[in-house]
């Protein structure tokens, strides 16, 4: 039977299964189990998630619960996951257009779709809609992000932003906006109008899908909405 390393040399990395790719990274096994056996255990460690999605969300202590996966191997696996997210983000950056919500969603998709808590990012733009800054302004629980209007606009003012776009994830995988999402968006719109900072969009990331509040007509507040 051809080992994963030799198979990669003969046929290329694209010919390897997910477990075989991980086995090449793990490199060595134990007396009882091969590196391929360990790789298969890693992929099955997070039940309820598709193999690679589970790997992305595993922590170093969780990886080290597998006999044969020590701290060094666990760190290597986490770094491979982080590198893959950064490659996907860099690739999406080339096609980024602030008038096209799909390109913004693609830019954040790999970074956010694996997260188990909601995180809110603010993209800050100048008068020509050029990106001049990005900040993570909050991290919440599994159900919601805790948004402070004060912190949000302080970040925008630090960058002297004229426009901003909000992006946050739904760990459930369903990007449908909640009543709270819509309410806080309207408050930010109102506050932005008073401060001369326009909210161009609020994009919610799910699992391989997204919702743009601007595209759905939910971005702008009604006349009865108030900032509190």
Mean pLDDT of the chain: 87
Instruction: Please indicate, yes or no, if residue 221 is contained in any of the structural domains.
Output: no
pLDDT higher than 60, residue 39:
yes
CA distance 73 to 114: 21
CA distance 110 to 202: 18
**22 with 78, same domain?**
yes
What is the CATH number for 65?
Answer: 1.10.150
CA distance 133 to 154: 13
Q: Which residue carries 């996907």 as its tokens? A: 88
Domain that holds residue 43: 4-88
Instruction: Please indicate, yes or no, if residue 224 is contained in any of the structural domains.
Output: no
Least confident of 36-50, 117-131, 183-197: 36-50
Q: What's the domain count of the chain? A: 2
pLDDT higher than 60, residue 12:
yes
Instruction: Please indicate, yes or no, if residue 223 is contained in any of the structural domains.
Output: no
CA distance 214 to 101: 9
Query: To 5 degrees, how large is the angle CA 120–CA 121–CA 124?
Result: 145
- pLDDT for the residue 1: 66
Of 28, 63, 88, which marks where a domain is finished?
A: 88
Q: Which residue carries 């598709």 as its tokens? A: 50
**113 with 71, same domain?**
no
CA distance 95 to 168: 20
Q: Which residue carries 């906006």 as its tokens? A: 177
pLDDT higher than 50, residue 226:
no
**110 with 150, same domain?**
yes
Phi, psi (degrees; rounded to nearest 5) at 169: -110, 155
**78 with 135, same domain?**
no
57-86: average pLDDT: 90
pLDDT higher than 70, residue 69:
yes
Residues paired with residue 124 on neighbouring β-strands, in sequence order: 133, 164
What is the pLDDT confidence band of residue 228, given thresholds at 50, 70 and 90? very low
Whether the full predicted model's pTM is greater than 0.75, yes or no, is no
149-154: average pLDDT: 90
CA distance 187 to 169: 19
- pLDDT for the residue 47: 65
pLDDT higher than 60, residue 118:
yes
Instruction: Please indicate, yes or no, if residue 220 is contained in any of the structural domains.
Output: no
Instruction: Please indicate, yes or no, if residue 222 is contained in any of the structural domains.
Output: no
**114 with 72, same domain?**
no
**81 with 100, same domain?**
no
Of 88, 119, 145, which marks where a domain is finished?
A: 88
- pLDDT for the residue 202: 96
**50 with 124, same domain?**
no
**61 with 110, same domain?**
no
15 secondary structure, DSSP code: G
Which residues are CB-neighbours of 163 under 8 A, at least 6 positions away? 98, 124, 125, 126, 129, 197, 198, 199, 200
**124 with 54, same domain?**
no
**138 with 70, same domain?**
no
**206 with 147, same domain?**
yes
**130 with 155, same domain?**
yes
Contact 203, 211 (CB under 8 A): yes
């Amino acid at each position: 039977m051809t080992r994963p390393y030799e198979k990669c040399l003969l046929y290329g990395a694209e010919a390897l299964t997910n477990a075989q790719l991980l086995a090449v990274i793990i490199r060595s096994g134990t007396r009882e189990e091969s590196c391929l056996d360990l790789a298969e255990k890693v992929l099955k460690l997070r039940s309820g998630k598709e193999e690679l999605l589970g790997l992305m969300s595993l922590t170093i202590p969780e990886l080290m619960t597998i006999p044969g996966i020590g701290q060094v191997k666990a760190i290597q696996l986490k770094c491979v996951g982080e590198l893959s997210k950064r490659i996907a983000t860099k690739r999406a950056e080339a096609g980024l257009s602030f008038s096209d919500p799909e390109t913004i969603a693609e830019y954040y998709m790999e970074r956010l779709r694996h997260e188990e808590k909601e995180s809110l990012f603010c993209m800050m733009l100048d008068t020509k809609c050029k990106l001049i800054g990005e900040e993570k302004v909050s991290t919440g629980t599994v159900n919601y992000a805790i948004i402070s209007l004060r912190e949000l606009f302080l970040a925008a003012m630090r960058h002297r932003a004229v426009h901003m776009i909000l992006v946050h994830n739904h760990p459930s995988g369903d990007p449908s906006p909640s009543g709270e999402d819509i309410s806080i968006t309207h408050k930010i719109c109102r506050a932005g109008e008073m401060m001369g900072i326009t909210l161009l969009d609020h994009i919610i990331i799910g699992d391989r899908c997204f919702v743009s509040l601007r595209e759905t007509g939910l971005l702008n507040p009604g006349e009865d909405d108030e900032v509190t």
